[in-house]
Structure 1
Amino acid sequence: MRKVHEQLIDTINIDKVTASGWEKESKDKAQELVTTFADWIAAHKDEITALQIFYGQPYRRRELTYKMIRELADVIIADKPFLAPLSVWHAYEVLEGANGQPKNELTALVSLIRKVAGIDAALIPYDKTVDKNFQDWVFRKQAGPLKFTEEQMKWLRMLKDHIAASVSVAIDDLDYTPFVEDGGRGKMWQLFGNDMESIINELNEALAA
């Protein structure tokens, strides 16, 4: 009986050591992946437009487009397939955790670059960054006499959600889902008038801050 008990204890101890070894190996691999990603970004930050924008003045981030981020992701994956954004995201999760999950691969890439570039101290899903910036923007806009109507707020939230999923929004996007179902650019003009374009520009800048 004692021998069986000792064997059981030995097995438990071995399992603990093995699990500890696996955990260390996993963290080592994650650190290597994160470091390689950061090195790749640093090496190409002066060559690729999207990276130039991230490392430039904050106001320039309003220039980012879905196409730019898509092209950047394609370049990264073509050069280093193991640096696919969701793989790097998982590596960060292993090392330090992440406050939620990204909506898609491209917004994961945006969050990762913001982290590497020092824009964000922690890895945050881009939609959460956009949500926070949207709240701040609405608060600032309504600090004076301006008060958005319920219908205007509905449209502003649609614009915000589009930016959260696609990095930016353009007037042409108003001709497509989900905007067109609510009247498209004609409806937004009706709601915001001559301020329509400036509202879109402001949101692109403020929400990417």
Structure 2
Amino acid sequence: PRIAVTVDMIATGTDIKPLECVFFMRMIRSRSFFEQMKGRGVRVINDTDLQSVTPDAIAKTHFVVVDVVGVCELDKTDSRPLEKKPTVSLEKLLQAVALGNTESEVISSIAGRFARLEKKLDQAGKAEIEKLTDGKGLKELTSDLIASIDPERQIEQARADFCVSDPTVEQIKQAGIKLIQQAVKPLCEPRLREKILDLHRKADQIIDTVSADEVIEAGFDAEALEKARGLVQSFEQFITDNKDEITAIQILYSRPYRQRLKYDEIKSLAEMIEKPPYLWRIDRLWDAYAALETSKVKGVGSRRLWTDIVSLVRFALHQEPVLEPFEEHVHERFAVWIAKQEASGKGFSDEQRWWLERIRDHVIASLEIGRDDFEFTPFKENGGIGKVYQLFGEELWGMLEELNEVLAA
């Protein structure tokens, strides 16, 4: 037989599929912990794999639990976090206890804070506490607090205090208060509370949200600059090498453009450079240019769109003096177009302007807009092609063609 013996290990993260027998040899009071340990036996395995380790087995149809200590019959509790009052300071919690507060949530929260503090203290800090408690350390104080709110301990105390085997709810409550009062008795000493708070303040990380740091100098180190330079050079060489091979680069390379750039073409280019052997993301290329030519790059850290590859290629080809998000480029050209329309005496109503701005936004994301696009969000919900035609009439088609040329140019 193959036997694995562990202590506090086979609970979670263990996957032994051929396991057919689980032994419990100690008591488990946590319901979730018990279920996790029992769950090690439910792993599924196909017949072939099972027979490779257990030749005389046919199939795993069930598993057996052997309960040596009676854990299956034991009443279990759900594990809960100690911290019940995370927004209340330790100072106020200790003050509440000193004033006679015996609420279990207060005691539990203090125990949780003490447990964390105990792990941060050095030997000198622990010794200072023991000096004020006749040798009892913070760890022991924590254990006493936790034990005082343990329902089973309270029942045992009630049985002893009232000499009964089945204490009433009121008797258990009185016993619980007694246990809590005993556990918090050391905390009624002001010097101990002050010492604990002093150690807590020293151990806690202080985050200064008042004093503002002043940036003296900002920039990239030499290694980062060298990596950025290599990335930019590789990208620009890629453009040169593929100016006759990749449609999007062909179109962007020729100015004036021989044909209009399509969304599928720039998306294909963006996806191509993200794959091996290049592994270039648009945002990384953007950051690389920003590292080398900070004053000429806008929109660092902002969300990148597929259409931003257009701005990258144009800047790499020195067609544009500034690398700016395609969105900003379109916004600027749209503002110029609107100004020209108004200068020529053609005004737009608020409703017409709303549609024009939505057309602009669609071009930002998709490079162009066509008749079919009005059947999608946000146009469809506002009347679609019928509504926009009602507002602009036959001028709509020529206007769309003009906007496609002007905005993405």
Displacement over 4 Å in runs of 4+: none
Selected match of 2:393 from 189, 193, 200: 193
Contact 1:86 1:105 in 2 (8 A): no
Candidates 288, 292, 303, aligned match of 1:91: 288
Taking only aligned residues, the RMSD between alpha carbons, in angstroms, comes to: 2.1
Q: Distance in 2 between matches of 1:80 and 1:89?
A: 19
Q: Partners in 2 of 1:59 and 1:36 — Cα distance?
A: 25
Q: Quote the residue 1:144 is aligned against.
A: 344
> Residue 118 of structure 1 corresponds to which residue in structure 2?
318
Q: Deviations over 1:11-38 (max 9, x none)?
A: xxxxxxxxx9x70110010011011101
Residues 82-120 of structure 1: CA deviation (Å, up to 9, x unaligned): 322221111112222321145434122121011012221
Q: Equivalent residue for 1:154?
A: 354
Give the aligned partner of residue 226 of structure 2: 28
Judging changes above 3 Å, is the alpha-carbon distance between structure 1 residues 152 and 115 closer, same or farther for their aligned structure 2 residues? same
Structure 2: which 5+ residue stretches go unaligned?
A: 1-217
Correspondence 1:69 to 2:269? no
| Distance in 2 separating the partners of 1:115 and 1:149 | 36
SS in 2 for 1:82: coil
- Taking the aligned partners of 1:142 and 1:58, their CA distance within structure 2 comes to 27
Q: Per the alignment, in what secondary structure is the counterpart of residue 393 of structure 2?
A: helix
2:250 is equivalent to residue 52 of structure 1? yes
The corresponding residue for 1:8 is none
Higher helix share: 1
Identity of aligned residues (%): 38
Amino acid across the alignment from 1:26: A
Normalising by structure 2, we get a TM-score of 0.44
Separation of aligned partners in 1, 2:275 and 2:327: 26
Partner of 2:377: 177
Work out the CA distance in 2 between the residues paired with 1:59 and 1:78: 27
Say if 2:398 is the partner of 1:204.
Answer: no
Alpha-carbon contact 1:103-1:127 (below 8 Å) kept: no
Unaligned runs of 5+ in 1: 1-19
Tell me if the contact between 1:114 and 1:120 (Cα under 8 Å) persists in the aligned partners: yes
The answer to whether the aligner puts 1:107 opposite 2:304 as a matched pair is no
* Bigger-Rg structure (1/2): 2
From the superposition, tell whether residues 51 and 86 of structure 1 become closer, same or farther in structure 2 (CA, over 3 Å).
Answer: same
Superposed CA deviations along residues 146-181 of structure 1, whole A, max 9, x for unmatched, are 111111111110011111122222221111011111
Aligned residues: 189
1:166 counterpart (366, 373, 378)? 366
**Could you tell me whether the CA contact under 8 Å between 1:103 and 1:165 is conserved in 2?**
no
Segment drifting more, 183-192 vs 75-84: 75-84
